[in-house]
Structure 1
C-alpha cells in the first residue's frame, strides 16, 4: 500500500498493473461458458420449454422420495418433483408434455384419494409457440436494455466510457448464463428478471467510477499514458468504499433470500448473487482498464492526451 499525494488517496493494490491477468481470466471464463452452451445448452424450465407445471398443495408433510413414489404410482416416473412450503406440504411437478385436462384431473383425483379433499393445485401450461415467443422476447429485452444503457453513457460521458461499460455489463450477464449452463441450473422467468436486474446494478457501479475518473480528468492537466493509468487507479480506490458498501448491502439481501426464501425464488436469488459479484468485479477489473486501453490507444509514453470536456 502507498499513499498517492496527487490524488490524496491510499493505493492498496494496482489494478491497472495487473489488468492483463484480469482480462485473461475473464476471457477464459467466457470461452468455458461458450463451450458449455454449445455442448450442454441451458436447462430451460417450463417457462421456456413446452410442458406443464403443477403447483400442488397437499395439506400434509411429504418427503422428496414419497413425492416421487406417488407420481410414479400415477404413471409419471420421469417427472421432476420439488417439495417445499413451510411444512414441506407443497409439491411442484414439471411435465415435459402439455397435459390434457383429463390427465390433470386424474392426477388430482389420485392425490386426493391419498391425502384428502384439501388437495388443491395450480396448473400452468406453456405451448411450443409460447415458449419460442418468450425466448425471443428475452433476447430482445437484453439487447434493447444494453443499447439504451450504451446511448445513455455515451450522452452522459463519451463513447469510450459507453463501449467499456457495455462490454462489462454484457460480460456480467453472460457470467450468470454461463454458470447456470455449467451447473445445469433451471432457467425460468425469475432467472431472466435476475439477469436484467444484474445489468441495472452493474451499470450503477460503473457510472460511479466513471464519474470520478471524469472529475479527476477535469481537474488535472494534460496527461500521458502513465499518468492516465495513475489517475484511473486512484479513481478506483477513491470510489472503492462506496461501491463495496453498496454491493455488500444487496448481496446480504440476496443471500438471505437464497438461504431462507422459498424454493421458487432460490434460483432467482442465486442468479442475483452471481450477477452482483460479477458486476463488482467487472467494474474495477474490466470496465475501467478497458476505458484506459481505448483512451490511451495509439498514445506513446510521455505523449499528452487531451482532456474531454465534461457534459
Structure 2
C-alpha cells in the first residue's frame, strides 16, 4: 500500500518505543514500591471509620481548624481544607464516632464559626469496608476480561493482548500516582478507574481499526513495512484521538475546578486516566502490537527459508 508521504517526516512512535516503555516501567516500579511499603491512602469507603465533611461558610486556615478539633477533644487522623474559599473541612477518623461525639465536633465548629456551619457524616463498618474492597477488585477484573474478549472477537488475539496490557497500564498509572502522592482512595476513585478503562479502550480501538484497515491493502514483508504501517495509521487517527480526549478533558477540568470537594479527587483521577489512556494508545498499545506481529513475521520468514 502506498502510504501518504505527508506522515513520513512526523515523529515515529514505534521507533522510539523503548523510551516510552522505559517511562511506563519506571512509574510502574515506583508505584509498586510505594504500594508494598506504604500502601494506598484508603478513604473511609474502604477503611472502617467516620469521615466528616464540614462546610463553615467562611475562609479559614489549617491552624485554626486544628485548634477547633483539639477543643472538641476529638482530633481526626487526617484533616484537609478545600473549597473555593477554603471554607470546607474534611476530617477522617479511623474509628467509628458515636452520635454524641459527632455532635461535640459540630458544636465546636458552631462555637468558632457561627450558625452557618453544616456537616455531612459518612460512617463505614469494618465488614462493609472489606466487602467494598473485594467488590472493587472484582469489578475491575470483570471489566478487563470483558474488554479482552470483545477485542479478541472484533480483531485478533495480538490486538487483545496489546489492548489489555495498555489498559491495565492506564489503571495502574492512576493507582501509582495516587499512592505516590498519598491521595485519598474512595468509591469515586473506583468509578474513575472504571471509566478510564472505558475511554482508554475507545482510543485504542480507533487506532487498531485503522491498522487493521490499512493491513488489508498493505504488503507487509518486513518489520520496516510493519513499522511504517503503524506509523501512518497512528498519524491518520491522531486528530480524532486528540479531539476526543480534549473534549472529555475540558468537561472533567470543569468538574475539578467548579465541583464540590467530594468530586475533586474523582475528577483528578479521571484527568490522569484520560492523559494516560491517550499516551498508551499511541506510545504503548500500537508498539506492543508491533512486537507481537513482528514475531509472527519472523516465524514466517524462518518457515519460508
State the TM-score, normalizing by the size of structure 2. Answer: 0.90
The equivalent residue for 1:308 is none
Moved more, 129-138 or 7-16: 7-16
Residue deviations 1:115-143 (CA, integer Å, cap 9, x gap): 45554332111111111111111111111
C-alpha separation in 2, matches of 1:234 and 1:44: 43
The equivalent residue for 2:31 is 33
The equivalent residue for 1:160 is 158
Q: Is the Cα contact below 8 Å between 1:198 and 1:279 reproduced in 2?
A: yes
Question: Offset of 1:82 from its aligned partner?
Answer: 3.2
C-alpha separation in 1, matches of 2:279 and 2:88: 38
Question: Offset of 1:275 from its aligned partner?
Answer: 0.9
Give the length in aligned residue pairs.
302
Moved more, 188-197 or 49-58: 49-58
Question: 1:150 aligned to 144, 148, 151, which one?
Answer: 148
C-alpha separation in 1, matches of 2:83 and 2:257: 14
C-alpha separation in 2, matches of 1:45 and 1:106: 22
Question: Offset of 1:159 from its aligned partner?
Answer: 0.9
Question: 2:283 aligned to 281, 285, 295, which one?
Answer: 285
Structure 2 runs not aligned, ≥5 long: none
Q: Is the Cα contact below 8 Å between 1:226 and 1:301 reproduced in 2?
A: no
Question: 2:241 aligned to 240, 243, 268, which one?
Answer: 243
Question: Offset of 1:247 from its aligned partner?
Answer: 1.2
Moved more, 91-100 or 234-243: 91-100
C-alpha RMSD of matched pairs (Å):
2.3
Residue deviations 1:1-40 (CA, integer Å, cap 9, x gap): xxx9534542301111111222222222211111111112
State the TM-score, normalizing by the size of structure 1. Answer: 0.89
The equivalent residue for 2:208 is 210
Q: Give the 3 Å change call, closer, same or farther, for CA 9–156 of structure 1 in structure 2.
A: farther
Residue deviations 1:69-113 (CA, integer Å, cap 9, x gap): 111101123443334446544433211110112212332334344
Question: Offset of 1:198 from its aligned partner?
Answer: 0.8
Q: Give the 3 Å change call, closer, same or farther, for CA 85–28 of structure 1 in structure 2.
A: closer
Q: Is the Cα contact below 8 Å between 2:220 and 2:226 reproduced in 1?
A: no
SS in 2 for 1:297: helix
Structure 1 runs not aligned, ≥5 long: 306-311
Q: Give the 3 Å change call, closer, same or farther, for CA 273–60 of structure 1 in structure 2.
A: closer
Q: Is the Cα contact below 8 Å between 2:226 and 2:290 reproduced in 1?
A: yes
